[in-house]
């Protein structure tokens, strides 16, 4: 059974930093990119960041220069470092196993972790 389990969400103030982590299990993720999407209340799910098995990274336009993504040595963990958080970063953040980054094709999702940024 494939599982992606997120941790690290919480309530922070604007300008703060927060780190999200995701641990994946149930199969090998060597052939897959891993990454993060987010969904704010009343909005569509939005791509945030992704990282390939080989370490190539992608970042959404709204988080470039503020967020960084990394992958653990075992390749089944992924971390999202979020700096200079803004109230508009408030959302549920979902970890994803990504089949095709360019097309946003995901085969497994985590259940999500809530990030709330107050002004």
Give residue for tokens 């988080």: 63
In this structure, what are the phi and psi dihedrals at residue 88, rounded to the nearest 5 degrees? -70, -5
Complete edge-to-edge strand list for the sheet that includes strand 3-7:
3-7, 18-25, 77-82, 67-71
Tokens, residue 65: 């220069």
Angle (nearest 5°) at CA 43 between 11 and 51: 70
* Residue 101, burial from CB neighbour count under 10 angstroms (0-12, 13-18, 19+): buried
Tell me what pLDDT residue 72 has: 86
User: How many of the other CB atoms lie within 10 Å of CB of 5?
Assistant: 13
- Each residue's pLDDT, cut to its tens digit, for the chain (119 residues) gives 999 999 999 999 999 999 999 999 998 888 899 999 999 999 999 999 999 999 999 999 999 999 999 998 777 899 999 999 999 999 999 999 999 999 989 999 999 999 999 99
H or E element, residue 70: strand 67-71
Find the distance separating the first CA and the last CA of the chain, reported in whole Å: 40
């Amino acid at each position: 059974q494939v599982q992606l389990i997120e941790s690290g969400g919480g309530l922070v103030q604007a300008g703060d930093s927060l780190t999200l982590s995701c641990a994946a299990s149930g199969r090998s993720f060597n052939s897959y990119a891993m990454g993060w999407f987010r969904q704010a209340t009343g909005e569509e799910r939005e791509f945030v960041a992704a990282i390939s098995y080989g370490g190539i990274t992608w970042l959404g336009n709204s988080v470039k220069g503020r967020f960084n993504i990394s992958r653990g040595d075992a390749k089944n963990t992924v971390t999202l470092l979020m700096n200079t958080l803004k109230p508009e970063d408030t959302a549920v953040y979902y970890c994803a196993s990504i089949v095709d980054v360019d097309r946003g094709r995901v085969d497994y999702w985590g259940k999500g972790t809530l990030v709330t940024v107050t002004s």
